[in-house]
Amino acid sequence: MARRSATARKQETVPKPTKMAVTLRVNGEERTLRVAPWTTLLDALRLHLDLTGTKKGCDHGQCGACTVLVDGRRINSCLTLAVMKDGAEVTTIEGLAKDGALHPLQQAFIDHDAFQCGYCTPGQICSGLGLIAEGKARTAEDVRELMSGNLCRCGAYPNIVAAIEQVMSGKGLGEKKR
């Protein structure tokens, strides 16, 4: 009995889940959703907008599977709140292909066999796009260092680096195809 009343008291102190309106421009399309303050951008994308291409790996900013581009910069979507990103432009893996044609970096990942299970791949590709846009990588060593926030448990790292280098060097789509 005492336990029940303690539980009841505890529930009273928990803030009501007041949902807030958030507008995001996701892959070029304006989307308004109502989310609780503690909803991460990752959960908003996956659970509210049904964009499940962005993956939840560790949910602690350690694996990089949740990487998306926000206002053109790569971030871990698991460590930011959707309410904080009201008005932001978000690009996920679903927004990269245009008119049925893969983005050159998506094609490069296929060309170089840069994945096995594929779970980390959406994060790897979004991170790779962020890296290319930043323009700080010159060498393969730079690419490895600047991609170190994306883990690949299948160990496809050499091929991931090769795929990113292909796009960095400006070689066209599928140029290294068999």
Partner 1 sequence: MNNFGYARARDVGDAVRRIAADPGARFVAGGTNIIDLIKEHVALPSQLIDITRLPLNKIEETKDGGLRIGAMVPNSDLAYHPLVEQRYPVLGSAILAGASQQLRNMASTGGNLLQRTRCLYFYDTATPCNKRQPGSGCSARDGINRMHAILGASEHCIATHPSDMCVALAMLEARVLATGPGGERVIPFSEFHRLPGETPHIDSNLRRDEIITTIELPPQGFAANYTYLKIRDRLSYAFAVVSVAAGLEMAGDVIRMGRFALGGVAHKPWRDPEVEAELAGAPATTETFLRVADAVLRYARGHGHNDFKIALARRTIVRALTQAARGTPQSQSDKRIR
CB of residue 165 to partner 1, shortest distance in Å: 14
Residue 34 binds to partner 1 (criterion: CB under 8 A): no
CB of residue 95 to partner 1, shortest distance in Å: 18
> Which of 73, 110, 153, 155 lies at the binding interface for partner 1 (CB under 8 A)?
73
**CA angle 94-100-106, nearest 5°?**
55
Binding to partner 1 by CB under 8 A, coded x per residue (else -) over 40-69, reads x------------------xxx--x--x--
Binding to partner 1 by CB under 8 A, coded x per residue (else -) over 14-33, reads xx-xx-x-------------
CB of residue 145 to partner 1, shortest distance in Å: 5
CB of residue 117 to partner 1, shortest distance in Å: 21
d(CA 169, CA 177): 16
Sign of the dihedral through C-alpha 63, 80, 73, 134: negative
For the segment 102-161, give every residue that binds partner 1 (CB under 8 A).
127, 130-131, 134, 136, 139, 141-142, 144-146, 148-150
By the 8 A CB rule, do 143 and 164 touch?
yes
d(CA 139, CA 144): 9
Nearest to 86 by CA among 18, 19, 24, 20: 24
d(CA 121, CA 128): 10
> Which of 6, 37, 97, 172 lies at the binding interface for partner 1 (CB under 8 A)?
37
Kindly state the tokens that stand for 139.
């060498």
d(CA 159, CA 23): 37
**Could you say which DSSP state residue 16 is in?**
P
Q: Which residues bind partner 1 (CB under 8 A)?
A: 14-15, 17-18, 20, 36-38, 40, 59-61, 64, 67, 73-76, 79-81, 83-84, 127, 130-131, 134, 136, 139, 141-142, 144-146, 148-150
